[in-house]
Amino acid sequence: MALRRFDLEAGGDSFAFKPETEPTIAFWLGKYPEDKKRSAVIPLLWLAQKDNAGWLSEPAMREVADRLEMPYIRVYEVATFYTMFRLQPVGKHHIQLCGTTPCMLRGANDLKEVCEKKIGKPMHVTDDGRLSWEEVECLGACVNAPMAQINDYYYEDLTTESFGEILDKLGNGVDVDPGPFVDRLNSAPQGGLTSLMEGDLFDGSRNAISELPNLPSAAPAEPEAAPAPAPEAEAKTTLIKDSKPAPKAEDKPEILTVAAGEEDDLKRIKGIGPVNEKALNELGIFKFRQIAAWTPENVDWVEDFMSFPGRIEREDWIAQAKTLAEGEETEFSKRVDAGEVESSKDEGET
């Protein structure tokens, strides 16, 4: 580990928490008794780092120490112990590239070269102040190796090409959505599900309580009590319902062709992100009213087609679509419109 020292020059003389951070500080301080408030040192250092452009300056550390009434040396010990507290300035986008074994085996060393080529040495900040990088130990996303954390988000399943592209975009001020950079959802198999595909796995129908076959039946407490209604008893004994028949071709919903610019922003529906929107558009679904008109058969068909059984009902796409089709707003769509939902932004949008 390299020597860790404050960059005193870049740290300046003063630091103040942003006003909007104060409630969070109060939240953390509220967790501990007044005389044990030094327990909040790590959360407060973290907040100070957030408020100080991603690194912890010496005045920021002192501010934390003063607030917690701790000797500076004690806070200094904590700040230097945890390498996630950065004592030197970092870029607007700080890349923490995982170099631990799984990522290394999946090509992290090549990604390091990309960093070195595009940014420079570790902890070097590019002239425009946009990028810096460092190698870190395992970030716990080995299933999507190799990966990097850029500011607060994980960018996974990287290749030298996709990673280079991300760095180029970030370097040019273009935001990049986090997540896997191959064709898969989170850490699901590439190219769609290969197992756990039965729809009823997810609709809750299997949660019914069954009687265990070898359980010694307890004597009924009240022999006069009426036996449980037969249908319920039947349901209890049925552990696994018959799987549904495969959806038929006639259940495919109505499709449309619309001129460019005519389509609705389906991402305003909670549950539809850029990937799903694209898939729906390819199916020929562009309008809220189309989704609002879906029959249960149509829903089954779409879910089967898109390999996510139960999700449309769970997320209530149809009701959302009805509201939006009438020109009204939902809670979620308001947030989308306000630009607060990262996953509903278009790629390349700044």
Partner 1 sequence: MSDDLFKLNIDGEEVEVPRSYTLMQACEEAGAEIPRFCYHERLSVAGNCRMCLVQWHGAPKPIASCAQTVGDMRMNPDGTPPNISTKGDYVEKARNGVMEFLLINHPLDCPICDQGGECDLQDQAVAYGRADSRYELNKRAVEDKNMGPLVKTIMTRCIQCTRCVRFAAEVAGVEEIGMISRGEGAEITTYLEESLTSELSGNVIDLCPVGALTSKPYAYNARPWELRKTESVDIMDAMGANIRVDAKGDAVMRIMPVINEAVNEEWLSDKSRFIWDGLARQRLDKPYVRRDGKLTPVNWGEAFAATKDVLSIAPEKIGFVAGDLIEVEQAKAALDLARAMGVQNTDCRPAGAAYGTSGVREHYLMNAPLAAVEEADALFLVGTNPRVEAAVWNARIRKAWLWNELKVFVVGEASDLTYDYTHLGSDPSAIAEIAKQAGFEKPMVVVGESALAREDGNAILAAANDAAHSIGSIKEDWAGFGVLHTAAGRVGALDTGFVPGEGGVDTAGILNGGMDAIVLLGADEVDLSKTGNVKIIYIGSHGDAGASKADIILPAAAYTEMAATYVNTEGRVQMTRRAVQPKGEAREGWAILRALSDVLGKKLPYDSADDLRAALREANPIFAGLGYAPGHEGAEALNEKIGSGGSSVSGAPFTAAISDFYMTNPIARASKTMAECSLQKQGLETPVAAE
Binding-site ranges for partner 1 (CB under 8 A): 1-4, 6, 8, 58, 71-74, 76-77, 80-81
Q: How many CB atoms within 10 Å of residue 61?
A: 27
Rounded to 5 degrees, what are φ and ψ at 93?
-110, 110
Provide the minimum distance between the beta carbon of 8 and partner 1 in the complex, in angstroms, as a whole number.
8
Query: In whole angstroms, how close is the CB of 21 to partner 1 at the nearest point?
Result: 22
Residue number with CB closer to partner 1 (32 or 81): 81
Shortest distance in whole angstroms from residue 73 CB to partner 1: 4
* Residue 46 or 72 having the CB closest to partner 1: 72
Q: Which is nearer to partner 1, 2 or 230 (CB)?
A: 2
Distance CA 293, CA 254 (A): 9
Nearer to partner 1, 87 or 299 (CB): 87
d(CA 347, CA 350): 8
Task: Rank residues 85 and 294 by Cβ distance to partner 1 and give the closer one.
Answer: 85
**Which of 63, 264 has the CB closer to partner 1?**
63
How many whole angstroms separate alpha carbon 244 and alpha carbon 255? Answer: 24
Measure CA 336 to chain center. Answer: 16
Give min distance, CB of 59 to partner 1, in A: 10
| Residue 309, both tokens | 């059984």
* Shortest Å distance, C-beta 76 to partner 1: 6
Report long-range pairs for 281-289 (Cβ below 8 Å, ≥24 apart). Answer: 283/255, 284/255, 284/256, 284/257, 285/253, 285/255, 285/256, 286/256, 286/258, 286/262, 287/256, 287/258, 287/263, 287/325, 288/264, 288/321, 288/322, 288/324, 288/325, 289/321, 289/325
Residue 11 three-state SS? helix
Smallest distance, Å, CB 65 to partner 1? 9
Measured distance CA(324)–CA(267) in Å, rounded: 11
